[in-house]
Chains A and B, each alone.
Chain A
Amino acid sequence: MTLNAKPETTEMTFPLPEPFLEWFRAKGWRPRPHQLELLAEAEQGRSMLLIAPTGAGKTLAGFLPSLVDLTRRTKRKPGMASRGIHTLYISPLKALAVDIHRNLGIPVEEMQLPITIETRTGDTPAHKRQRQKLAPPDILLTTPEQLALLIASRDAERFFADLRYVVLDELHSLVISKRGHLLSLGLARLRQLQPNLQTIGLSATVAEPDELRRWLVGQGETGGMAGVITVEGGAKPEISILESAEHIPWAGHSARYALPDIYEAIRAHRTTLLFVNTRSQAEMLFQELWRINEDTLPIALHHGSLDAGQRRKVEQAMAGNTLRAVVATSTLDLGIDWGDVDLVIHVGAPKGASRLAQRIGRANHRMDEPSRAILVPANRFEVMECRAALDANYLGAQDTPPLIEGALDVLAQHVLGMACAAPFNADMLYAEIRTAAPYAALPRETFDHILDFVATGGYALKSYERFAKIRKTADGTWRVSHPRIAQQYRLNIGTIVEAPELNVRLTRSGRGKAYGGRVLGKIEEYFLETMAPGDTFLFAGKVLRFEGIRDNECIASNAAGQDAKVPVYAGGKFPLSTYLAGEVRAILADPARWGALPDQVHEWLEIQRQKSILPKAGELLVETFPRGNRYYMVAYPFEGRLAHQTLGMLLTRRLERAKARPLGFVATDYSIGVWALRDMGRMFRTGELPLGALFDEDMLGDDLEAWLDESYLLKRTFRNCAVISGLIERRHPGQEKTGRQVTVSTDLIYDVLRTHEPDHILLQATRADAATGLLDIRRLADMLSRIKGRIVHKNLEQISPLSLPVMLDIGKESVAGEANDVLLAEAADELIREVMGEK
């Protein structure tokens, strides 16, 4: 993010201190109106939300009130006690804090302002943190996790005694996660320490600005909102969908067909940013680009699994404009300055209009110049999705997700942190927590459960009183029972729980005992679980051969020139947004809009209309047809993969009960396919199984409960909740397992807790989390009520054009993680055949 202001030559009379006017004059700039407006409002004592597109000088606007206030304050006389932090800046990314340090430091130095600015992140050395505690800078740039640590320390009160402003950058991305919940609780504590505190939130355009406005200020009996300043978007971006002469695939996510076109676009531009949705897509695209990179253009790869050193190198090269292209995942989404990017290529569908706008904002980081972007759909449904996203961006539509209630595992972490800071009174802490917008509606009973959980685990069987982490003392306050608990708290802080990962170490092949070689990055354990030695995979831009796991590291060797078994496409991290889903349905229902689609896609829809039907707006199309010795049912809800997966689980349970003998299902972002041994189409027609009953909303009752308890998805969610709530400790990098006795699998804990105390607060938190996260039950529920009485059934002799993509996915992706005894039985039978000499 840059500190740009508008060039201007006329004489200025602005309400700014002299050094600022001087600086603007010397630069030939003038402050932008929203920067001055924000300053004026802040000087009136208001907390403010600034909504502005990239390149609008948001950062300077956000810091201007602080800089002006700091410039005006009286000089510290020798012998006076050092002052505390004046302004706290919080960003979601470490890298962003560092970036701001550089960009803010320049004008402060040029104006010779008596202001000290420092960063404090996980990378800050211990001695510097110590020094910062004794002699705090005026402006501290940090992250939500560091704030949690600071407010949990015993000297928090003194440290924040002079705090005036908190600047929250990229607020739209912070508030939607558990990090946002943790941060909101931190803010509540800061307001407690410093009631006159003002917040300034900086955000990209969002669907519901009022949610953010409430978030920024303490919520009293009547709510309350920060002021808001909205800067209209600058130049309209120039976005196009790639027009390729090649055949657009029916299914898949690789977009290989478009590689020559992508390469040509890179050649025709100075610097290109290529965004993809998953790490494996990034690996694949990078690899394929280099395969055709005849000009050996400097093309780099950047994603979260890569070694940090390697990532820093790419970032530096990018800032120095020495790269022609970078293939990246969401690690580059946020507002870091990436040099002179003049083209953004988005490979695969963007999944959300707001996300697309954000990513495109990366090109040409100046508000007044249009950004250039090309969307590359990977399959035919994605063509429609890209079209919908493109229309949305032009229309300025926003589809940021609605905010959800504060998570209880985060609350548990915070409660322990507050006990580490100082003994607390439960009534007062409860009142304080309710001032945080995500927890404004927190019932006292739930708070008390969490308190009990933090103290002794909150179990019905009260056997842990003597091991309590916090205890209520004679004066009625809660205290940490042992200093060790505070230490543990500090090591386990934060809400980001990575899936267990192993280092990938590169050795030479054929040397089974070799331990040397460099670490390329980290890979998720679950992926390795499915691999056998000799299997090849793409990682860090190389084809590697899996040699084995040794000492908790994945040992791999170079397998250049071989075909890689690409990591399974994990469905993309982002589900299709509700807004885009609606748009895709609308395009489908309205032949007048097909003209904007490429001919191939246009034709595809025409054939569908002839051979089957196209659902009207608001309808759900269900097709049935036989194929091989199976019967298929394909439905098109367009509600995103997560909701479809949940739907698939529930539908197969019901089909099972109806004796349709379902064998499996596959879910994509757009549709869901189920196959069975009996003719489901016939069952629907004869009324043996009415479609309305199959898709009835009541599936979200008992069926959901029954399935959930067994689901691996819930176990995965439980693991996160267990770590965040402090039930189990994090595994830290470098801290190896010293034996199987020191860890307990969270799956085992989950099973025990579920059988003995199904209503435990942590299981409640887990279910709530899963419902909004991995299961996307809210969307499923909305869909089921929307399509009630509007299901259109088409029975076909053969597979329909529209079903082709999902049918092609069958076999490639199956439903993973459910009971697998069938596989065991097969393996055992094979042994028997082998022993008995049968073939």
Chain B
Amino acid sequence: MTLAMHSGDHRLGEPHGGTVKTVIAGVEAVCDPAGALYFPEMRLLAVSDLHMEKGSSFARRGMLLPPYDTGVTLDLLAAVIARYHPATVISLGDSFHDPEASARLPALYAIRLRGLMAGREWIWITGNHDPHRPVHLPGDVAGELALGPLVFRHEPQSGSAPGEIAGHLHPAAKIVRRGRSVRRSCFASDGERLIMPAFGAYTGALNVLDRAFRGLFAEEQLLAFMLGADRVYTIGRRMLFPG
């Protein structure tokens, strides 16, 4: 697979209000408050952990959660795509909540998803929840993808080369001020590696200070790009609380 490094035409990919720019392994990226990461140079949009059909996955086991989670996730995705008009979209693994989930996708949502995919390159990175190619859907499938100094994979690998963009861990950060705490999903990055927030409507989140993140970041450089209502907030390591 080849991916052209676009340059020049920045108008479409101009970051809008509320975003935060950051640099990973020398590549400029825009953290969007919706939880998507946009690379203007490549006109590439990355989203992670969509967990589509999580609701129906629970329904199979007798918990009849509202069957609208995929719809909400797709609405959000459609809005982000409309914002950046990316040439390429990478869905960074766990796009579907279980291996059968893509087959369960209600026709209504399958049509919408195909609409979003049309006219652009689309790469499904496999994840632990969806180790195989989604059925009845176009797009390329890969275990991981290297683009210049960047490598996109689902699960972060400690000790790997700089430039890793991963998901899987669903990072969140917490601050405490005046006795009140605020906990939000976040992008977590030390400039060498970036871990993306989970994008799906029913996805929970894990504090970046949890053991699961240990060894992934240079502690002192860690920044949490916390997702606010309509903007991203950059919070330093020393402001973060566990839990």
- Pairing of A with B: yes
Partner of B65, one of A484, A749, A824, A831: A749
B226 part of interface (Cβ distance < 8 Å)? yes
Cross-chain contact of A740 among B68, B181, B182, B204 (Cβ < 8 A): B204
Q: Is A727 an interface residue (CB 8 A)?
A: yes
Max chain A CB contacts within 10 Å: which of B97, B179, B183, B229? B179
Stretch from A329-337, A437-445, A459-467, A652-660 contacting the other chain = A459-467
Residue among A729, A831, A834 having the largest count of chain B Cβ atoms under 10 Å:
A831
How far is B236's CA from A830's CA once the two chains are assembled, in angstroms? Answer: 9
Query: Across the interface, do B233 and A753 meet the contact criterion of CB distance under 8 Å?
Result: no
Query: In the bound complex, do residue B64 and residue A820 qualify as a contact, i.e. CB atoms below 8 Å apart?
Result: no
Q: Is the CB of B242 within 8 A of A548?
A: yes
Contact of A459 among B58, B66, B170, B243 (CB under 8 A): B66
Contact B242 A549, beta carbon cutoff 8 Å:
yes
How far apart are the CA atoms of A834 and B58 in the complex, in Å?
46
Contacts of A825 in B (CB 8 A): 228, 233
| Distance of A81 from chain B, by nearest CB (Å) | 37
Cα distance, A637 to B63, chains bound together (Å): 44
Docked pose: A547 CA to B206 CA in angstroms = 19
Complex contact B202–A748 (CB within 8 A): yes
**Cα-based distance from A143 to B174 in the complex (angstroms):** 42
Contacts of B154 in A (CB 8 A): none
A729, A819, A824, A825: most-surrounded residue (chain B CB, <10 A): A824
- A588 contacts chain B at the CB level, 8 A cutoff: no
Q: Is the CB of B233 within 8 A of A461?
A: no
Check B64–A744 contact: CB distance below 8 A: no
A745 adjacent to chain B (CB < 8 Å): yes
Interface residues of B in 185-243 (CB under 8 A from A): 201-206, 226, 228-229, 231, 233-236, 239, 241-243
Chain A interface bracket (under 10, 10 to 19, 20 to 34, 35 or more): 35 or more
**A467 touches which one: B56, B69, B226 (CB < 8 A)?**
B56
Residues of B within 8 A of A463 (CB): 56, 67, 106
Contact yes or no, B206 A740, CB < 8 A: yes
In the bound assembly, the distance between CA atoms of A568 and B181 in angstroms comes to: 14
Smallest CB gap from B98: residue in A: A741
Which residue of B129, B228, B234 is within 8 Å of A741 (Cβ)? B129
A752: contacting residue among B201, B242, B243, CB under 8 A? B201
A828, chain B: closest CB distance, angstroms: 4
Q: Does B62 contact A (CB under 8 A)?
A: yes
Task: Name which residue of chain A comes closest to B235, CB basis.
Answer: A827
Contact B72 A820 (CB under 8 A): no
Query: Are B59 and A485 in touch, CB under 8 angstroms?
Result: no
Q: Is B136 engaged at the interface, CB distance under 8 Å to the other chain?
A: no
Determine the residue in chain A with the shortest Cβ distance to B234: A828
Which of A464, A549, A727, A752 interacts with B69 by CB under 8 Å?
A752
A529 at the interface (CB under 8 A from B): yes
CB distance from B231 to the nearest CB of A (A): 8
Query: Chain A: which residue is nearest B69 at the CB level?
Result: A752
Residues in A with CB closer than 8 Å to B179 are 530, 568, 814
Q: Are A467 and B59 in contact (CB under 8 A)?
A: yes
CB–CB A456/B64 < 8 A = yes
Are B243's CB and A549's CB within 8 A?
A: yes
Closest CB in chain A relative to B150 CB, distance in Å = 25
Size of B's binding interface in residues, CB under 8 A: 48
Bound-complex Cα distance A488 to B181 (A): 35
Q: Which of chain A's residues 806-830 have a Cβ closer than 8 Å to chain B?
A: 814, 816, 819-821, 823-828, 830
A532 at the interface (CB under 8 A from B): yes
Once A469-B62, A485-B62, A741-B129 are accepted as A-B contacts, the answer to whether A529 and B233 lie under 8 Å apart by CB is no
Q: List the count of A-B residue pairs having beta carbons below 8 Å apart.
A: 135
Q: Which residues of B contact A457 (CB under 8 A)?
A: 59, 64-67
Whether the pair B64, A467 counts as a contact (CB closer than 8 A) is: yes
Q: How far is the CB of B76 from chain A (nearest CB, A)?
A: 11
Q: Which residue of B lies closest to A488 (CB)?
A: B62
Establish whether residues B66 and A757, one from each chain, have CB atoms under 8 Å apart when the complex forms.
Answer: yes
Check if B133 is an interface residue, CB within 8 A of chain A.
no
Residues from chain A with a CB closer than 8 A to the CB of B71 are 756
B184 touches A (CB below 8 Å): yes
- Bound-state CA distance A461–B69 (Å) is 12
Closest to A830 in B: B239
Query: Nearest CB to that of A565 among chain B residues?
Result: B179
Q: How far is the CA of A484 from the CA of B67 in the complex (A)?
A: 21
B-side contacts of A745, CB under 8 Å: 202, 204
A240 at the interface (CB under 8 A from B): no
Complex Cα distance A674/B47, Å?
43
Q: A728 at interface (Cβ–Cβ under 8 A)?
A: yes
CB distance from A469 to the nearest CB of B (A): 6
Residue of B nearest to A467 (CB): B59
Q: Across the interface, which residues of B come within 8 angstroms of A482, CB to CB?
A: 62
Q: How long is the Cα–Cα vector from A532 to B177 in the complex, in angstroms?
A: 11
Chain B residue with Cβ nearest A744: B202
Question: At the interface, yes or no: B117 with Cβ under 8 Å from chain A?
Answer: no
* A743 CB within 8 Å of chain B: yes
Say whether A517 faces chain B, with CB atoms less than 8 Å apart.
Answer: no
Q: Which of B129, B177, B183 contacts A827 (CB 8 A)?
A: B177
Q: Assess whether A44 is interfacial by the CB under 8 Å rule.
A: no
Residues in A whose Cβ lies below 8 Å from that of B129: 741
Q: Counting CB contacts under 8 A, is B43 at the interface?
A: no
- Check A824/B243 contact, CB under 8 A, given A467-B56, A529-B181, A744-B202: no
Name, among B106, B129, B176, the residue most crowded by chain A CB atoms within 10 Å (CB to CB).
Answer: B176
B181 vs chain A, min Cβ distance (A): 5
B68 touches A757 (CB 8 A): yes
Contacts of A74 in B (CB 8 A): none
Interface string of B27-67 (1 = CB under 8 A from A): 00000000000000000000000000010101110111111
What chain B residues lie within 8 Å of A753 (beta carbons)? 66, 68
CB contacts (< 8 Å) of A827 on chain B: these are: 175, 177, 233, 235, 239
Give complex CA distance A482, B234 in Å.
50
**A533 interface contact, C-beta 8 A:** yes
| A317 contacts chain B at the CB level, 8 A cutoff | no
> Which residues of chain A have C-beta atoms less than 8 A from B11's C-beta?
none
A136 CB to closest chain B CB, in angstroms? 31
Q: How far is the CB of A808 from chain B (nearest CB, A)?
A: 17
> B183 to nearest A CB, angstroms?
8
* A296 interfacial by beta-carbon distance below 8 Å: no
Residue A528 lies at the interface, judged by CB distance under 8 Å to chain B: yes
A815, closest chain B residue (CB): B180
Instruction: List 10 other contacts, CB 8 Å, given A529-B174, A814-B179.
Output: A531-B243, A728-B63, A740-B204, A744-B58, A753-B68, A756-B66, A821-B228, A823-B177, A828-B234, A831-B235
Q: List 24 A-B contacts (CB under 8 A).
A: A457-B59, A457-B67, A463-B67, A463-B106, A467-B56, A467-B62, A482-B62, A529-B181, A568-B179, A727-B64, A740-B203, A749-B66, A752-B66, A752-B68, A753-B68, A819-B229, A823-B178, A823-B180, A824-B182, A825-B228, A827-B235, A827-B239, A831-B235, A834-B236
Binding site for B on A (CB under 8 A): 456-457, 459, 461, 463-464, 467, 469, 482, 484-485, 488, 528-533, 548-549, 568, 727-729, 740-741, 743-745, 748-749, 751-753, 755-757, 760, 814, 816, 819-821, 823-828, 830-831, 834
- The 8 A-B pairs with the shortest beta carbon distances in the complex, nearest first, are A457-B64, A756-B68, A828-B233, A820-B182, A467-B59, A753-B66, A824-B233, A740-B204
